Amino acid sequence: MRLVTLTLNPAIDQTVTLDALTPGSVHRARSVWSDAGGKGVNVACCLADWGLAIAATGVLGQDNAAPFAQLLAAKSIDDRFVWIPGETRTNLKLLDASGGDTTDINLPGLEFGPSTVEAVRAVLADLTGPGSLAVLAGSLPRSLGPDIYARLTAELKRRGARVVLDASGPALAAALAAGRDSLPDAIKPNRHELEEWAGRPLPTLADVLDAAHHLQRSGIALVCVSLGAEGALFVSSEGALRALPPPTRVASTVGAGDALVAGLVAGLHDGLALPDLARRALAFAAGKLSRTGANLPPRAEVEAIAAEIQVERLG
């Protein structure tokens, strides 16, 4: 089964650790490090750590290519990016060591035209076919319309691929408004992104479950809603459940949602039943929390975490 991730708005994530983040104050950084990333890149890294062959595509700038080229080579990820003139953006992440919270400052991405989009589409056509799994993940550069994920999903599904979508805002809304045959096979919004799509607050677990059921009945085979420290909700034709992670030492929350997506993909790749898929997804996310960057612990450690995941069936 061929696996591929798409990242149209990648970034170099520069993480600055502070003793405590106080707006309006001068801060002295405890540490700083940079990781080549973007949601699809992070998903590919976690899947590679798990031991799966994975290709990654999207758009990257030639002027600061080294961090991405080095990362993809180190993880043995098939680099199928379209490289264009310019610099890939840098995002700033402020990690508050006192509480573990991260404040993100995301900069605008590379802007590109139709010819670059066509080059990406050609790469996807070459990488996907019946039985393949494609992950479309992350924000979009300003030069692209919000319907790009919807259009790419329709093309991928016509080729027989399954599509996992991790998007938000107008891009997610456009993808969810597509015809039933063009809907993604799996989505992973967090509670805020689901509320944004629903157009109303979802304060209780029952509210979140109702919205997830609505999406699943509309034709999305698997709906996963990440709930932070409260775990994640999973809804499919097999039913609904919530998975709760074990206590975890947190080194960095950056990329935890991407690791969750990677765990979903790994579970779909292996055809796991919903409870086991939920355990694997949460284990990926919990394992990543103990690492900086988009890195998983060794496979045996992730499997040990999965064995500790509590899964409860929901009505």
How far is Cα 6 from Cα 134, in angstroms, rounded to an integer?
Answer: 8
Task: Please give the pLDDT value at position 269.
Answer: 97
Does this model's pTM top 0.95? My answer is no
The first and second tokens of residue 281, run together, are: 């997804």
Residue 14: inside a domain:
no
Residue 24: inside a domain:
no
Residue 15: inside a domain:
no
Active site includes 276? Answer: no
CA within 13 Å, CB half, 302: 28
Mean pLDDT per 10-residue run, the chain (315 residues)? Answer: 94 90 89 89 97 98 94 97 95 84 86 95 97 96 95 97 97 95 96 96 96 97 94 97 85 81 98 98 92 87 95 91
Residue 21: inside a domain:
no
77 and 44 Cβ atoms separated by less than 8 Å: yes
Task: Please give the pLDDT value at position 108.
Answer: 86
Burial class of residue 99 in the structure, from the number of CB atoms within 10 Å of its CB (0-12 exposed, 13-18 middle, 19+ buried): exposed
Structural domain span for residue 240: 1-9+35-87+108-312
Q: Give me the number of domains the chain comprises.
A: 1
What are phi and psi for residue 285, nearest 5 degrees? -65, -45
CA within 13 Å, CB half, 12: 19
Domain CATH for 154: 3.40.1190.20
What does DSSP assign to residue 266? H
How far is Cα 229 from Cα 247, in angstroms, rounded to an integer?
Answer: 9
What does DSSP assign to residue 201? -
Of residues 99, 83, 91, the one with CA closest to residue 20: 99
Of residues 117, 39, 42, 109, the one with CA closest to residue 72: 42
How far is Cα 173 from Cα 183, in angstroms, rounded to an integer?
Answer: 11
Q: Which of 181, 258, 270, 276 is catalytic?
A: 258
Of residues 14, 13, 110, 12, the one with CA closest to residue 61: 110
How far is Cα 268 from Cα 133, in angstroms, rounded to an integer?
Answer: 9
The first and second tokens of residue 173, run together, are: 């809304």
Residue 160: inside a domain:
yes
Task: Please give the pLDDT value at position 252.
Answer: 67
